[in-house]
Amino acid sequence: MLQIDLSGKLALVTGASGELGRVIARTLAECGTDVAVHYCGSREKAEQTAETVRSFGRRALVVQADVTDSDSVQAMQRIVKEELGSVNLIVANAVIQYPWTSILAQPLADFESQFASCAMQTVHLAKAFLPDMIAQHYGRYVAINTECAAMAEPGVGAYTAGKRALDGVVRCLAKEVGKDGITVNQVAPGWTISERDRTNHTEQAPEYEATVPLGRRGTDQEIANMTAFLLSDLASFTTGAYIPVSGGRVMPAI
């Protein structure tokens, strides 16, 4: 029976204090990996995530950084390496949140923040963490993208632009470090049910669900499952992929 086994590995999950990040970190711990739990501003939630990781018998380190700032990411890398060792697995999940509106009404700063927290996050993480992976001739990098990058719908111009820029960086990076035994992939969620939805009873969205071939919204756990798969050796020959987890709402063409 196939199992996702990440034992002996160390993962960094950015945005691990957030709705999706918490579930990804927990799932990776269930699969056997230690986790560096990154946060920017929500330390209390990050500590809760770390306690969940430790409940599976795994090591956890809470670490703060601004993923849009090179020096901050480099400092995070040094702290994680000193406390836990070299990172094998990276999940780039953090993103700056902002109010969505039309391109004409959207403040320019929002376009800049999305580029910084999507595309440049991956650049900063790669420069900080991939040298150790290259030295080990092993590594897995998963960036959390979005169905919006493919759909390009009204009202999400800044988010779409930032995530499409991320896509370009990831595809180039995959080609650059493949020879070093490192895979680089993207998971692209649809509109996902999170713990906030379960608490507020907002899981149902009939208008959106009508556009999904599988007829429902996906869950945070389903996103985490795909992420864990891509981080595992079950996906050792998959790199440069943009994989929608959107119930068929996005179907990349060949």
Pick the catalytic residue from 138, 141, 159, 242. Answer: 159
CA distances from 186 to 6, 63, 90 (A): 18, 23, 11
208 catalytic, yes or no? no
Asked if residue 93 lies in contact with residue 137, where contact means CB atoms within 8 angstroms, the answer is no
Residue 18's closest CA among 35, 3, 38?
Answer: 38
Judging by beta carbons within 10 Å of its beta carbon (0-12, 13-18, 19+), is residue 209 exposed, middle or buried? Answer: middle
Contacts of 60 (CB under 8 A, 6+ apart): 29, 34, 35, 36, 37, 49, 50, 51, 53, 54
The answer to whether the beta carbons of residues 73 and 98 sit under 8 Å apart is no
Give CA angle at 187 (178, 124), nearest 5°.
60
- Tokens in use for 40? 């920017």
Which residues are known to be catalytic? 159
